[in-house]
Amino acid sequence: MRVAWVMKLKPGCEEIYKQKHDEIWPELVDLLRRQGVQNYSIYRYGLTLFAYLERDEPEPLGRPHDPIILRWWKLMEPYMEYNPDGTPWIEPIEEAFHMD
């Protein structure tokens, strides 16, 4: 299953966002892999972030977020647009074309 979405950086946070991802926590990568996530990429165009990942199955609805994810989100909150509930603002986007 392929999934993509956009997010937004706050102005002036481009370098720190890149640095944090260059230093991504190994335990976060391990968690994502255990959850079936593969081929995860984030691209930046100005302040717009485009994220794409593949996973074995859809993410289960209603599953609580892992504490590692919650810690990462808290770390990234100063640099990105966030929802009032402390989750990153995301806008899912529709796949218009795919070629294997």
Query: Is 44 strand, coil or helix?
Result: strand
Measure CA of the first residue to CA of the last residue in the chain; give whole Å.
Answer: 13
For residues 17 and 9, the answer to whether their CB atoms sit within 8 Å is yes
Catalytic residue chosen out of the listed positions 2, 18, 21, 74: 21
Q: Angle at the Cα of 9 (from 82 to 72), degrees rounded to 5?
A: 60
Would the CA dihedral through 80, 83, 87, 89 be positive or negative? negative
21 is catalytic: yes
Would you please indicate which residues are annotated as catalytic (active-site) residues?
21
